[in-house]
């Protein structure tokens, strides 16, 4: 049955994202001296990136760092173009840390995992040598040069063909050059050769791994003309880790759900290696984009930079952490975005905040959907500009003092019980888990206090105070799921239907009445 939401449409213009194509290759150095000189240049460039990063934190400008007599040229022996590229790399790292909400002062060049492993000091012999080698390569094995159309492709790292073979000429920055043979069977090699012959720009990044130098060539391509846009609706995506699958919701321009389906990702989990896993993810991305093209709709996903890091499914403990380790949501979304741009499918990214919560509370019981499809539906509606109004039944529930007292009493009792268990528990690991559950119960109590009114400008507020709380959807999740349904992430959400439409919640516990998922009182419920 279709939903008929009353919503406000919001018109926004979307800037077309840049599409990049690349080629990966191994560099072979006929001359040992050229190989040694290239490694030295990579070491100096890597050090320059770290230096530039720290200076940017101190407020230095890009111009001050890359100028003719600037520190990058004097201290590291780089030409102006290399110096500018080092600053650009440092700025990208700084911007990335800030976008993820991390402290940029705590960025570890070389990788935090390797740093923590070395700091523990528990390795010796060959394993220690391997970790130190990997750490050194990650910290010292970088060289990057941007392409420039005015310079015929790339001035510092230039491709050329000699005796039928493709070579890379590396500007060492001191007037000398090193030469390396490019070895690759990448399918985009012919396109790269065409760009080299046509003197079109291409970016080159050299990296060091297992003592070998690898090159990655990338270039920007003009995105294909749009043939599928959100004017016809959207195909929204959401991934869940348990069960491991992709939920898809086809949403019409008026905000109604036209179709929904799921694609299993278990085969991805069983892939024997990373290469096989990548091929399977690309296969799924092709299925998604083909479905969008079939219906002529845009693709709607959560915004990559704002992907939530919380649990995406049911469960906890060692088994759940193992399932989380396989999770490839961001990787799949990047592939879908890249392929959609090449096929002319518009991609709309939305803020993922509360999409799962709203889906579980509103559309899962209303339309008899799984929580994952319901979350995808909310993503699709948000991409089309719709805002989710709180159903009248939920509004009535949040105003019910008996409900508030019941839920607050539940979490107060739970907190007291967890304190007692923690005091009696001798196992430090179980004590830590109980402490985490206790902190969660305290947070829930704090959130429930917002029902008494919080400053803000939420919908329904009066005189600067919101009588439904600062985050009504989150309050509902805390108040309904664990106290009444018995799970923090319940699978069966149909019992919420009577509350959704009527606000009735009493009689759920202790045999006080029929279960809200069935019985004569629910016989006349309509999903309208």
> Mind listing the pLDDT tens digit for each residue in 32-47?
999 999 999 999 999 9
- DSSP type of residue 133: H
Could you tell me where the beta strands, DSSP code E, fall in 316-463? 347-350, 454-455
Decide if pLDDT at 457 tops 90: no
Taking the model in full, what pTM does it have? 0.67
Q: What residues does 260 pair with on adjacent strands?
A: 249
- Top-confidence residue, 26 or 7: 26
pLDDT of residue 219: 92
Residues 6+ apart with CB under 8 A from 323: 241, 242, 244, 313, 315
Decide if pLDDT at 108 tops 90: yes
Q: Residue 3's closest CA among 468, 430, 526?
A: 526
For 170, other C-beta atoms within 10 Å of its C-beta total 27
pLDDT of residue 463: 38
Token look-up 């060049």 returns 109
- CA torsion 244-249-250-254 (nearest 10°) is -170
Decide if pLDDT at 223 tops 80: no
Q: How far is CA 301 from CA 310, 311, 341, 355, in A?
A: 17, 18, 14, 11
pLDDT of residue 270: 83
The arithmetic mean of pLDDT across residues 356-365, rounded, is 92
Q: What residues does 160 pair with on adjacent strands?
A: 167
Per-residue tokens: 295? 């219906």
pLDDT of residue 503: 65
Decide if pLDDT at 88 tops 70: yes
Q: Residue 346's closest CA among 220, 222, 226?
A: 226
- Alpha-carbon gap, residue 154 to 470, rounded angstroms: 53
DSSP string, 178-240: EEEEEE---TTHHHHHHHHHTT---EEEEEEETTEEEEEEEEEEPPPPPSBEEEEEEEEEEEE
- Top-confidence residue, 25 or 265: 25
Q: How far is CA 352 from CA 157, 185, 304, 340, 486, in A?
A: 40, 39, 9, 20, 26
Q: Residue 294's closest CA among 345, 353, 358, 219?
A: 345
- Alpha-carbon gap, residue 81 to 144, rounded angstroms: 10
Q: For the chain, what is the mean pLDDT?
A: 83
How many residues are recorded in the chain? 528
> Which of the four pLDDT bands, split at 50, 70 and 90, describes residue 146?
very high
Cβ distance 476 to 398 under 8 Å?
A: yes
- Top-confidence residue, 395 or 306: 395
Per-residue tokens: 257? 């759900």
Q: How far is CA 181 from CA 26, 35, 103, 164, 336, in A?
A: 8, 11, 41, 11, 33
pLDDT of residue 54: 96
> Which of the four pLDDT bands, split at 50, 70 and 90, describes residue 512?
very low
Cβ distance 495 to 518 under 8 Å?
A: no
For 58-111, where are the alpha helices, taking DSSP H only?
62-66, 71-76, 80-99
For 496, other C-beta atoms within 10 Å of its C-beta total 26
pLDDT of residue 208: 96
pLDDT of residue 256: 95
- Residue 148 burial by Cβ neighbours in a 10 Å radius (0-12, 13-18, 19+): middle
The arithmetic mean of pLDDT across residues 224-247, rounded, is 88
The H or E element spanning position 312 is none
- Alpha-carbon gap, residue 228 to 245, rounded angstroms: 25
pLDDT of residue 39: 97
Q: Residue 476's closest CA among 387, 390, 369, 352?
A: 390
pLDDT of residue 135: 95
Per-residue tokens: 460? 């329904």
pLDDT of residue 520: 33
Worst-scoring range by mean pLDDT, 138-142, 256-260, 387-391? 387-391
Cβ distance 70 to 99 under 8 Å?
A: no
Backbone angles phi, psi at 230, to 5 degrees: -75, -5
- Alpha-carbon gap, residue 107 to 409, rounded angstroms: 43
- Alpha-carbon gap, residue 348 to 39, rounded angstroms: 42
- Alpha-carbon gap, residue 87 to 92, rounded angstroms: 9
Longest pairwise C-alpha distance within the chain? 88
């Amino acid at each position: 049955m279709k939903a008929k939401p009353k919503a406000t449409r919001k018109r926004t213009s979307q800037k077309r994202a840049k599409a990049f194509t690349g080629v990966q290759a191994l560099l072979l150095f006929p001359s040992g001296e050229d190989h040694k000189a290239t490694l030295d240049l990579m070491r100096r460039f890597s050090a320059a990136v770290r230096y530039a990063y720290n200076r940017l934190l101190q407020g230095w400008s890009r111009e001050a760092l890359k100028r003719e007599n600037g520190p990058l040229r004097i201290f590291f022996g780089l030409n102006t173009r290399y110096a500018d590229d080092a600053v650009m790399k440092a700025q990208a790292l700084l911007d990335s840390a800030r976008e993820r909400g991390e402290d940029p002062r705590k960025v570890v060049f070389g990788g935090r995992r390797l740093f923590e492993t070395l700091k523990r000091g528990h390795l010796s012999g060959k394993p220690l040598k391997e970790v130190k080698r990997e750490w050194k390569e990650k910290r010292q094995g970088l060289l990057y040069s941007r392409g420039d159309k005015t310079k015929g492709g790339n001035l510092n790292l230039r491709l050329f063909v000699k005796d039928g073979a493709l070579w890379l000429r590396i500007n060492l920055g001191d007037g000398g050059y090193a030469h390396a043979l490019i070895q690759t069977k990448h399918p985009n090699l012919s396109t790269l050769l065409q760009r080299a012959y046509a003197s079109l720009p291409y970016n080159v990044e050299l990296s060091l791994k297992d003592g070998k130098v690898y090159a990655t060539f990338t270039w920007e391509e003009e995105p294909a003309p749009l043939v599928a846009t959100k004017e016809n609706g959207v195909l929204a995506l959401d991934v869940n880790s348990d069960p491991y699958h992709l939920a898809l919701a086809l949403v019409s321009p008026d905000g109604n759900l036209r179709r929904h389906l799921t694609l299993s990702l278990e085969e991805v989990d069983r892939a024997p290696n990373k290469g096989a896993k990548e091929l399977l993810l690309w296969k799924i991305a092709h299925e998604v984009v083909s479905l969008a093209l079939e219906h002529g709709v845009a693709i709607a996903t959560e915004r990559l930079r704002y992907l939530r890091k919380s649990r995406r499914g049911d469960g906890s403990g060692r088994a759940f952490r193992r399932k989380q380790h396989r999770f490839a949501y961001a990787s799949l979304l990047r592939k879908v975005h890249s392929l959609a741009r090449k096929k002319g499918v518009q991609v709309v990214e939305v803020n993922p905040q509360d999409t799962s919560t709203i889906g579980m509370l509103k559309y899962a019981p209303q339309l008899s959907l799984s929580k994952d499809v319901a979350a995808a539906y909310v993503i699709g509606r948000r991409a089309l500009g719709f805002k989710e109004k709180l159903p009248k039944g939920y509004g009535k529930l949040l105003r019910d003092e008996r409900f508030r007292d019941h839920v607050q009493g539940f979490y107060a009792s739970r907190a007291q019980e967890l304190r007692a268990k923690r005091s009696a528990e001798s196992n430090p690991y179980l004590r830590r888990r109980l402490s985490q559950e206790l902190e969660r119960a305290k947070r829930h109590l704090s959130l429930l206090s917002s029902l008494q009114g919080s400053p803000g400008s939420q919908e329904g507020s009066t005189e600067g105070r919101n009588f439904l709380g600062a985050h009504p959807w989150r309050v509902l999740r805390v108040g309904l799921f664990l106290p009444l349904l018995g799970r923090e992430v319940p699978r069966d959400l149909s019992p919420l239907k009577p509350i959704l439409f009527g606000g009735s919640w009493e009689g759920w516990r202790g045999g006080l009445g029929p279960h809200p998922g069935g019985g004569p009182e629910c016989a006349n419920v309509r999903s309208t």
